Every structure is written in C-alpha cells, then in structure tokens.
A and B are shown apart, each in its own frame.
Chain A
Amino acid sequence: MMRQPTVHELLEAFRHGDTDPVENAHRVIENIARREGKINAYISLEDFDSVLEKAEDSRRRWMRGAARKLEGIIIGVKDNISTSFLPTTAGSRILDGYVPPFDATVVERLQKEGAIIIGKTNLDEFAMGSTGEFSAFGPTRNPWDEERVPGGSSSGSGACLAYGGCNAALGSDTGGSVRLPAAYTATVGLKPTYGLVSRYGLIPYGNSLEQISPMGLSSLDVALILQVMSGYDPLDATSLNVNPDVVPEGPADPESIRLCIPGSLVGMSDEPVKKSFYSLIDRLTGEGASVDTVEIEGVEKALPTYYTIAVAEAASNLARFEGTLYPSRGDYSGDYWRFISKSRGEGFGIEVKRRILMGVYVLSEGYRDEYYLAATKVRRIVRDELARITKKCFIATPASPVLPPKLGEALGDPLKLYAMDAYTVLANLSGLPALVVPSGFSSNLPTGVQFIGGKLTERSLLSLGMLVEELTGIRGAYAGG
C-alpha cells in the first residue's frame, strides 16, 4: 500500500526540519493538479499562490519557534461550512455564488491554530445523500476506483484526503456523512458527541442530528483536529459546556477493550463486508479484546426514525431559500408565489425536493402525530438503549452494509440508498460519538469498521482507532492513482 504523511507525521517533520509547510503545500497542490479534473473533490479552491504564501508564513513560524498547533497543515472544508473567503454553496445551485459574511466557528478555530484552508469540498446537495452523486456540481469519484463513489455526503472531503489533495478535512455528519466516505476511501472519520463541536456556520440539514466532523489519514490526526475545533461556543445554544482533552496517549490496551456486536444488524451486510468486519474482530479478540453479542431494542426502526426526523428538520431549514436573500434564478417580476416557486423549482435538485416533500408531509396537521411525533418517541427509546449499552462496551459494526457502489448504481432506488446509512444513523439518533477506521480492503476496495462509544468518550474511541490501525497497518493510505 502506498502511503502519504499524516498530520501527526507532518508536524513532527516540520518540527525537526525534515520537511516544511511550503514543501507540503507544493505536494498537495501537485496532487490536486493531477487528480482534481477527474475526481472533482473540490467545488472551489483557494488561489494557490495565496496558499503558498500562507505556507511560507507557516514555515517561518516553525523556524522561529512560533508554530501553532496546526501550523502549515492543509485542510479541505466541506462546502456546507461557512467561509467568508470562499463561496459556500452546500452543493446546491440555489446557493451558487453565495459568500457568507461570516466564518463558521470551527473554521475560525482551525485558522487561529495555523491551519491553511485550501478549498471547499464537494458534497451531496445540502448533505442529503450517501454517495456524493447529488451534488449540483457533479459527482465526486473515488480515488481508489474512479468508477465508484467515495461515499457521501462528505464525498469531496474523503476523496481529497485519499488522493493527497489535503492533509485533513472537515465534513459534516447527519446520518453517517463522514463515516461512509471514510469507509469508502480508507480514511478515518469521527462523528463527535452531539454538542462537542459548534454547529455555528454549518448550513443545517438535520440540526438535532448533525455535527461538523473531522476526517483524517489516521485516528491521531482526527484527534489533533478535533482538539482544536471542539469545545463550548456561546454562538451555538446546543453546544456543550465542556472542553475535554480528546488526544489519546497511544493505542488502547486490547485487553481493556470490550466490544458489543449487534449480530442481526451486522447480518444484513453484504458478504465481503461481513468477512472484512469479522476478520478484524477476530484479530482484536486475538489481542485480548472481549466481544459480546447484543440486541438493540428498536434498532429495526432506527432508519425510518432517522429519516423522518431528518426530513422534517430539512424541510424547515430549507424554507429560507426562496430567492429573496440569496442568489436566485427566479424572475423578480410577477407575483411572489410564482417567484419563489421558480427559485425553488430550479434551484433545488431532485433528492432535496424529495426530502422537502417528505418533511412537509410528516409535519402536516393530521400526520404529525403519526410520523414526526412517533419518530421522536422511538428516538428516545433508541437513545436510552444505546446509552445503556455503551456504558459497558463499544458497539462495533461495519461502517456500511455494502462496498462502495459504482457511479449511478444506487441512484435509482432511494430506499436502497437510504439503507446504506443503517449502521451510522444510530450515533446521530443517540447523539453518541462514533468512529470509522479502515478495517481492510476487499478486492482493492476499502472497508471500514464503526465503533460507537458513550457520551464524550472520543478519547477512548480514538485510542481504539489507533489500536485498529496497528493491527491493519492502514494509516496514511494513499490512493496514488
């Protein structure tokens, strides 16, 4: 397997002078120049000269011993995270050309620690999708196999990491949107505990479910990024008033690891996925980890529950896009209703429209109780159940029940598409942290394993991730191409 340096390795090398931020920037820019035309991981890119200038500034800071925590690290930011210096489209035509007048809290925090944001990564429109194919700016291809999708909705973040178009990336995870791409691109993605990372500046899809989430080439990288971006933010009322240390000292002691496997849920996976999953579990038990099988009450209802809540919140959040305040293709003459119908009709893509319609339906008078309210009740059951289980163990599942599909393969059947999130939505419904790390390769396609931990157990989850990396040897995987 070809390798590329991780953030941790880069920072060490910068410190020892083995390489410097300018060299790193050149390498990243080269990769972008070589692969981007085909992969389409970025919607907008920063001017490369200005990236190199910033890298030069970072280099000087390292020289004079004034380096900050992420000095010179190059980061791709999902294009639903607001930046005042680059357009923020959320992958939608309706926001084409929109430049927010403010930066997301996480962007501010990363830049303050010396990170360089190189561009805004592609995504399914408004983060609604599991393959990256619903972007208004064209699908992203998987650098490991360009005929296949990189997973979504943070498709560009996973892809640019895999081909070396960034050192680390930000995604957002509403139902698995960083964990699927992580699994499909042999990278690491962590959905933090709800409230650990500020959502200020994240264009909302399912507010009660999602977190801005770090992606990296190793668990330690993810920890280093998370450490900088997490913590209380007075601008987000759902932000938790905590500032935990999330960087592990090293890989977890396998003997201390207890895993719970929801057997029947894992049973739904395709054969190669199952095989890769259980072979990793075997290696963990071989090292001394203990494994139990659990049944999670209400788990079969988790997926419809997730989608009911997500589409309800989405329909509400997207009401604001009607062309008055944002760039629109609508014609202002004529009446208001015709104007907004035209703006929304032409501005939104098919999947977004589908979810808005479903959202309006589940919130409508007469249906609200049957759908939306019922879903909030099931959600509570699932949340309590998962909280109970994760007190004693990490829940382990494959990241996705299927291998990365070919482009176009999953598009025709929304239900099949939604089923890709069967394992990941559990963490969003419950607000618990969940980590996906590579578990191996199956016929040259990456597979990932997911661990769900108790509230605010990011540090132990990430040390478990480090342990898995030791066992698989997959760290800093490079889809050279």
Chain B
Amino acid sequence: MRVRIGLEIHVQLSNAGTKLFCDCDSEYRGFPPNSNVCPVCLGLPGALPVPGRRPVVLALATALSMKCKIPERLVFTRKHYFYPDLPKNYQITQFEKAGGAPVCLEGELEYLDTDSWEWRSVGISRINLEEDPGRTYYEGDILRSRYAYVDYNRSGVPLLEIVTKPEIPSPRQARMLVEYLLLLLEYIGAVNPRLEGVFRVDANISVEGGERVEVKNIGSTLDLEKALKFEAKRQTAIVERGGRVERETRHWDSARGMTKPLRLKEEEADYLYFPDPDLPPVEVGKDLLSEAIGILKTTPRSLFERISSMGIRSEIAWSIVSTPPASKRFLEAEKMVSDKRLLGRMIGVDLKGELKEQGRDLHKDSAWPPAERIAELVKLVERGEYTYDTIKGLVLPKLASNPLSPIQPLLPEKVDDVKALVDEVLKRESKAVRDYLSGRGKALNYLVGQVVRAAKGKAIDPRKAREELLNKLRELEARG
C-alpha cells in the first residue's frame, strides 16, 4: 500500500560555537548543571538577545544547500508557552504566519538512495532557526520524582527545524534522507550528528485511504525507519480490515519498538506569536551570503561525485564520504598516488574495516593515520615492493592501532631468498609434488600456500613464489 511520509527534523547546530543569541557554548554536553549559562540564555529581565553570526551563517548555508527561497531579512518571532525549562516562557523562533521570516521557505533536499545509488529529492516547506529550551530531569519516574531538576545549559542552543513536504515514499527513504541531511550538516561544520540528543524527528505518515498520523519523539535514524515501518504496517492492517485510520498523534516507544497513542489530547494552544521587538530583522546581505556559500564548497554530493569519477565503486565512494576523516585522507592522498582505486579500497574498505575491528572511533580525526602514510603504502604496492594483501594483512592492523607510527618499522621483512624456501617446501612435500606431476594442477595452490607459510610472517609475493615453484616443477618434470 502506498505511504506518504513527511518529516519535521529538529537538529542542534552543535558545532556553531555559540548559542543562538549569546556567547555561551553551543555544545552544552559535559558541563555541570547550569554552568553553560549567562543572563541572556537564562532569560534574565533586561538581558537582550543578539543574533550570533555563526549560527545565522550555518542556517543560511543549510538553506542554500537546499536551493531555498531565502528572504531579504530574517525576522524572529516569539512563541509563548509556559514550561519550567523555557526560561522566558517564550521561545524565539521564526513563525512566518505572524510576521516572522524563516531562513528558508520552499526548497528541495537532494539525498542519496544508498540502495540504488540514485539521487532523490524531497520538497522542503520551510526551515526555522530557533532556540532550544533547557532540560528537566526527574528522579526516576516523572510522577514519583520529588523534584523537577531544571538545567539551562542547553537553553538557547541554535536549533534548525527542517520541515519536508509529505512526499517521502517509504520508511527506508525517510531514513536515508535524514542520514544524508545529517552528513551534509556535518560537512558544513554545523553539527556533530553522533552527539546524544543532537537531533529528533517528528514524522507524519499516512497510507492510502487513511488520515495522517503524527509520530513524535524519534531520536535516531534507525528508530525512524522502525517507527515508520511499524506505523505503515499498523495503518495498512486497519485499512485492509476495512477500518479507518484516525488523525492522531502517537509516541514512539523505542524500548518496546512500537508507537503508542498519546494519552493526553493536545490542546489547541494559542502561542500568541508576534515579532520579537528585541531583534531587528537580520539583513541577509552579500557578506553573510558569501560566507555561507564559502562553507558549502564541500558537500557529500560533490565529494561523492568527485570520488566516483575516479573509477571508484559507489559503495566504496560512499564508505569514504560517509566518514569525513576518511574523505579528508582520501582527498589529500589522492594527489600523491596514481592508483586511485587502490587508494579508495585501502581507505574505504580495509583501513576503515581494521579501525572498526579494533573498536576505534571512525569519526575521530586522530583515529586515522595521516594521508602521507596511507599514500606511502599505496606507492609500495604500485612499485611492486609489497603486495596489497601483505599490506592489508600485515601492515594495516599495526597502523590502525598506532596511526602516528612511521611506515618503515611496520613493514614486514621480505623473504630475500624465495628459491631456498621453494626448495625447502619441495623437499618436504614430496606427495604434493607427485600429485602435481601426475596432473593434479590443484596441488600447485597448496604448494604456494606452504611457501607463504614457510615465510613465517615475512613478506613474500605469492606470484613470485608461484613462478619459482613452476620453474622448479618444470625442471623436476623434465628430469622425470
């Protein structure tokens, strides 16, 4: 049955440096409670919001990346509701229906379908730049907690609210869209997508013949796909039974893997919107725009296309692009080597795999060896000094555990006398030799394996071992 999905994605500009309207840190995690605060983000009376340049530039860059209509002036509005962790009891946002001018109206987000390797696009209705509230903690259960603990460290963190049109065709596409979006925001230096709680998604989903259902509180891309699949299935079943899907709001219970109706019916709230008189419209001038364009130079798409154009398979190219430290290494090393495919494979498959195997944080720049080292390894293979398999099997594991090590000490000793090894094996493996001579070609592979094994960890080129074996075997054959 056909489904239609729309998303409302809230993502913190965690890497903006400052909060939206003050100089406190945009990355509030790890501070003791209420220590990343100032009069402005505490909403103390008389303290005034002043838009931070970086959050505005990052929001504009995001809007530009989605080909949005960007207004000449951004206008912030106040949205009022009483909540303990909202210090002013209003949130500064950009509601366009009350005189606000959001950073984007009408745009289009392109994302990569990593199943078919095709680019798809979904309409964007708007993007708001707004402030995050603080957080309320409870001792265990909200109903049983004696106190509500309010922490304002998060209060005022810049938040983008990105709203798509309801035209995403499947839960999986929804997930890929959000994954691409987060990667894009990571590339422009706006977001660290791996921070806990850095984004949350509200989704609306409908099946043919049913009303739209909102699903709130989705905190990961995996959960997004799960929640939407669950809903699609639930709604389809209702329609197939001849029932009606009512318009409602549901809550995603991640632990139990199901959506549940919200017990409380949401009131028709009146938010008393009006333009914030403390914030004159922000002129979107040439300097702001050119700064935003500047940080948009590298997008996952442009990178992916560039890497693919070097003859690298989509899977590998994407593997590199989806890990920014890897793509950084690739772009640097690419200028130093001629075999780009080999480089792609080393970075995107084997080195990445090895780092993962060793439990390193792939997204931490310091987990990766410098590009020159990687290029050095590729060049060793290009010059035929070592085989790719030797590098992969004997060098990459060591480099992964000690990324700053120079290459030379990591290289295995080479077997200097292949002939001697071959002689030794031929002497020892008389049965296999007989087999081979009597026409069982497979025995050769066995013998090659034995020669490599006899190298006892020293580097040996299996092709050379095979060549040498064949020479000797031919001699033996001739002798009869």
Q: A104-B46, A207-B277 are in contact. Are A336 and B84 (CB under 8 A)?
A: yes
Given contacts A102-B39, A200-B46, A316-B274, 17 further A-B contacts (CB under 8 A): A82-B46, A100-B44, A100-B46, A104-B46, A204-B46, A207-B277, A234-B50, A235-B50, A236-B50, A237-B49, A319-B80, A320-B87, A325-B44, A337-B82, A363-B272, A368-B98, A372-B274
A273 within 8 A of B: no
Asked if A150 is an interface residue, CB under 8 A from chain B, the answer is no
Knowing A364-B270, A368-B98, A372-B274 are in contact, say whether A319-B82 is a contact too (CB < 8 A): yes
In residues 278-328 of chain B, which contact A (Cβ within 8 Å)?
A: 278-280
Quick check: is A20 within 8 A (CB to CB) of the other chain?
A: no
CA–CA, A206 to B274, complex, Å? Answer: 13
The answer to whether B280 touches A101 (Cβ under 8 A) is no
Q: Which residues from chain A contact B47 at a C-beta distance below 8 Å?
A: 102, 200-201
> B48: which A residues are within 8 A, CB to CB?
199-200, 235-238
Least Cβ–Cβ distance between B314 and chain A, in angstroms: 47
Chain B interface residues toward A at CB < 8 A = 39, 42-51, 78, 80, 82, 84, 87-90, 98, 148, 150, 270, 272-274, 277-280
Nearest Cβ on chain B to A175's Cβ, whole angstroms? 14
Asked whether B277 lies within 8 Å of A322 as measured between CB atoms, the reply is no
Q: Is A247 engaged at the interface, CB distance under 8 Å to the other chain?
A: no
Of A203, A208, A322, A340, the contact of B45 (CB 8 Å cutoff) = A203
Within 8 Å of chain B (Cβ to Cβ): is A128? no
Task: List the 6 shortest-distance A-B pairs measured between CB atoms, nearest first.
Answer: A319-B89, A208-B277, A207-B277, A363-B272, A203-B45, A201-B46
A–B pairs, 14, beta carbons within 8 Å: A82-B46, A100-B45, A100-B46, A199-B48, A208-B277, A238-B277, A316-B272, A317-B45, A320-B43, A320-B45, A324-B150, A336-B82, A340-B82, A363-B273
| B45: chain A residues within 8 A (beta carbon) | 82, 90, 95, 100, 203-204, 317, 320-321
User: What is the number of contacts between chain A and chain B, taking CB atoms within 8 Å?
Assistant: 96
Nearest Cβ on chain B to A327's Cβ, whole angstroms: 13
Considering the chains assembled together, what is the distance between the CA atoms of A238 and B278 in angstroms?
6
Q: How far is the CA of A14 from the CA of B150 in the complex (A)?
A: 53
In the complex, chain A residues whose CB is within 8 Å of the CB of B278: 204, 207, 237-238
In terms of DSSP, what is the predominant structure of the interface of chain B? Answer: loop
B277 touching A325 by the CB < 8 A rule?
no
Q: Is the CB of B50 within 8 A of A101?
A: no
Task: List, in ascending order, chain B residues with CB within 8 A of A363's CB.
Answer: 272-274
**Nearest CB in chain A to that of B45: its residue:** A203
Nearest CB to that of B21 among chain A residues?
A: A237
CA distance A317 to B98 in the complex (A): 17
A100–B46 Cα distance when bound, in Å, is 9
Distance between Cα atoms of A325 and B98 in the complex (Å)? 29
Bound form: Cα–Cα A45–B46 in Å: 21
In the bound complex, how far is the Cα of B43 from the Cα of A234, in angstroms? 17
Q: A420 interface residue, CB < 8 Å from B? A: no
Q: Does A410 contact B (CB under 8 A)?
A: no
Question: How far, in angstroms, from A208 to B280 measured CA to CA in the complex?
Answer: 10
Q: Specify the chain B residue showing the minimal Cβ separation from A206.
A: B277
